[in-house]
Amino acid sequence: MSGRYSLRRRLVLGLSAIAVILVVVTASSVVALTGVTDAIGRVLEDNYSSVIACEDMSHALGRQDGAALLYVTGHDDLARPIFAREQETFRAALRAEEGHVSEPGEGVLVREIRDNWFAYEADSDRLFAADLAGRGRVYFEDMLPRFRHLSERLKQVLALNQSHLLEVDRHARRLSTVTLVAVVSVSVIALAVALWLSLWLRRSITEPLSDFVRRAKAIGEGDLSGSVQRPVAEELSQLAAAFSRMQDQLRAYRESSLGELLAARDLSRATVECLLDPVVVFGADGGVVLANEPAWRIFDLKAASADELRDKEIPDGLVRARDLVFASGAPVLPQSFAESMRYDGGGGGERHFLVRAAPLRREPGETSANAIVVAQDVTRLRRIDELKSDVVATVSHELKTPLTSLRLATYMLLEGAGPLTEQQRELATTARGDVERLRAIVDELLDLVRIEREAGALRRSRIAIATLFEDVVDGHRAIAANKGVALGVAPLDPARQLEVDAEKLSVVLSNLVANAIRHTPAGGRVELSVRGTNDASEVSLTVKDTGEGITGDQLGHVFDRHYRGGDSKTKRGDRHGLGLAIAREIVEHHGGRIEVTSRAGEGSTFTVVLPNVFTSPTSERPPSMDRSESA
């Protein structure tokens, strides 16, 4: 391939040139810095030490002269200690100077200073030996002239070393200037080489890569008509050839499969249009990507941008479902009619919709690009459900009065209507038990209807968990004692609180406790406890017994309505199969769940899991809202 060079070879050559320049700069800097460091070291070792020694000798000599003058004036007690101390200082400084003689002529001056110092010491001995009258003669005739001579020689040595210090400083400055010029020159050369290399990289690598990026973006947008220029670098040239082959294959694939893709798109759109329920696809920016004819007819929604929808009133249920999908990335699936959205727009009267939503992703795990929202019209189903509840409530109310009369009649028969034979008493007792069971069924049917009608409208208030447990235990203490079952509450924080509908949650716990007592033999135990800290997101209220337990095949059905199990020894639930169903309804309206773990013969544990939050009064409203109020 003539005229083409390996990209690797080009990079190696360019980087090698920069590496050589960096080595030269580094070596030059090291040599220069070493020279400066050596010069400064020599100065500090010899001349600077000599300067310090000369200054110390000058100061010590001056203080000795002052002490001698004090002695002449008769201050013996002050003069002698000062003179002796400064004499030792001068000797030490003289020894230091003798060890750092480095300049021409400095040795002669130091020897002269030493000889004069010995003479000065001899004069000082004569001074301290003379009487008061003879002290002045010794000082002024012998010591003072020698003091002046020593001072002059010390100044000469000091000037000699200071002169050399200045010379070394000038030399260091010249050396620094030369080093700086060399480093700057080499840096300029390195900069020029780096600039050349960057221009070469731009022409040989960056520009071809930018061309690849532009073509890749164009292909991503569907433009397969362009081409990629083949660069000089061998590796990039091979990449350009592979890129061109990929583009040709994509173009061929589009030409062969475009019709199929368009048919699949048209089929999807036709399917959405054929649905009777409103279907809306929202984009991530809030705009409507797709809306079928029922969505336009009922909600007045059609494909439009977010700006075009800014002033349009979209039903709150659709907006809430869309925002939840974008926020969590998970589908929104309502569980009951209580979560339906009521909508009274469009002149068609009040209607109810169950709003479902799901994310639409291009790839698994990708952030949601769009969200599809389906509003299922459940108006007819909801009315049928309401009619069923009305029938159940009516029948239950109608049964309650005759059952009350029958209950009163059986009690009167057994308690005082007259003597009864054994068989008559047995029949009356059986009748009374059946009446009680029927009355309990009627009461729980009415409770179930009331719960469904309230649709989750809870009367929340703060209540201590300990108070809630004690109220339930007090209501069942006598029943547990009659059966020989121990009933109690595990230790808990008396200040621990929950915000719940206390009346309804008491019904849940009462059903669970009554169920546990019913299925626990004499000598067993039923215990209420709480799990979860104040900081936890959930709190668990548990009812645990040591009774007969539940078989594995029955665990999944204990909360079904009217389920009583098959084996009388292990069946769970109340006598008519409504208590646990009611408990589950209440717990779910609180936003929680109820769980059970059990093994046959080892007892059961029912756990009520509730959100550990304190809500405002507005949160008691049902979860689904239309333009003004909940369903």
CA of 334: how far to CAs of 280, 282, 339, 354, 429, in Å? Answer: 17, 19, 6, 7, 47
First to last CA, the chain: 77
Contacts of 481 by beta carbon, 8 Å cutoff, 6+ apart: 487
Query: What share of the chain in percent tops pLDDT 70?
Result: 74
Query: Residue 206 CB: number of other CB atoms within 10 A?
Result: 13
Mean pLDDT to the nearest integer, 34-43: 63
Say whether pLDDT at 20 is over 50: yes
Is residue 213 predicted with pLDDT exceeding 60?
yes
Is pLDDT at 525 greater than 90 in this prediction? Answer: yes
What secondary structure does DSSP assign to 501-522, as a single string?
-HHHHHHHHHHHHHHHHHTS-T
pLDDT: which is higher, 100 or 572: 100
- Homologous superfamily (CATH) of 461-614 is Histidine kinase-like ATPase, C-terminal domain (3.30.565.10)
Q: Any idea which of 58-67, 103-112, 212-221, 480-489 has the lowest mean pLDDT?
A: 212-221
Question: What local confidence, expressed as pLDDT, does residue 248 receive?
Answer: 76
pLDDT at 625 over 60: no
**What is the distance, to the nearest Å, from the Cα of residue 249 to the centroid of all Cα atoms in its chain?**
45
Separation between Cα atoms, residue 276 and residue 231, nearest integer Å: 58
CATH number of 275-377: 3.30.450.20
Which string of DSSP letters, residue by residue, matches 109-135?
Answer: HHHHHHHHHHHHHHHHHHHHHS-HHHH
The whole-number pLDDT of residue 509 equals 92
With b for 16 or more beta-carbon neighbours within 10 A and e for fewer, the 365-402 pattern comes to: eeebebbbbbbbbbbeebeeeeeebeebbeebeeebee
Percentage of the chain surpassing pLDDT 90? 7
Task: Give the CA radius of gyration of the chain.
Answer: 53
CB hemisphere CA count around 391 (13 angstroms): 6
**57-67 mean pLDDT:** 86
Q: Please give the C-alpha separations between residue 603 and each of 88, 531, 600, in angstroms, as whole numbers.
A: 102, 19, 7
Checking phi first, is residue 222 left (phi over 0); if not, alpha (psi -120 to 50) or beta? left
Lowest mean pLDDT among 170-184, 289-303, 344-358, 450-464: 450-464
- Report the C-alpha gap between 90 and 58 in whole angstroms: 8
CATH topology (fold) of 384-450: Helix Hairpins (1.10.287)
> What is the per-residue pLDDT for 447?
67
User: What does the pLDDT look like over 530-570, one tens digit per residue?
Assistant: 987 666 678 899 999 998 888 777 777 777 765 555 444 44
Task: Look at residues 524, 501, 517 and name the one whose alpha carbon lies nearest to residue 579.
Answer: 517
Give the residue with greater pLDDT, 574 vs 60. Answer: 60
Burial 517-527 (b: 16+ CB within 10 A, else e): bbbbeeebbbb
Of the given ranges (356-370, 481-495, 523-537, 602-616), which has the lowest mean pLDDT?
A: 356-370
pTM of the model: 0.39
What is residue 527's predicted lDDT score, i.e. its pLDDT? Answer: 94
Closest CA to 502 of 533, 471, 528: 471
pLDDT digits (tens, 9 = 90+) for 587-611: 887 888 899 998 888 889 999 998 8
505 vs 361, more confident: 505
**Residue 206 DSSP class:** I
The helix (run of H) or strand (run of E) holding residue 23 is: helix 7-45
User: How many residues are given for the chain?
Assistant: 631
| Residue type for position 55 | E
544-to-305, 597, 598 alpha-carbon distances in Å:
57, 10, 10
Question: Mean pLDDT: which of 105-109, 363-367, 516-520 is highest?
Answer: 516-520
* pLDDT for the residue 619: 38
Please tell me the least confidently modeled range out of 81-85, 242-246, 396-400, 586-590.
Answer: 396-400
pLDDT score of 526: 94
- Nearest CA to 31 out of 181, 185, 180, 179 is that of 179
The C-alpha atoms of residue 121 and residue 118 are separated, in whole angstroms, by: 5
Q: What is the pLDDT of residues 416-472, one digit of tens each?
A: 666 777 887 788 788 877 777 777 777 766 666 666 655 546 678 888 999 999 999
Domain 10-202: state its class. Answer: mainly alpha
Residue 234 has pLDDT above 60, yes or no: yes
Higher-pLDDT residue of 269, 40: 269
Find the mean pLDDT for residues 38-61.
75
The residue ranking higher by pLDDT, 366 or 295, is 295
CB count in 10 Å sphere of residue 33: 13
* pLDDT value of residue 33: 66
Contacts with 598 (C-beta within 8 Å, 6 or more apart), sequence order: 549, 550, 555, 572, 604, 605
- Mean pLDDT estimate for the chain: 76
Sequence spans of domains, the chain:
10-202, 275-377, 384-450, 461-614
**Res. 618 pLDDT band, cuts 50 70 90:** very low
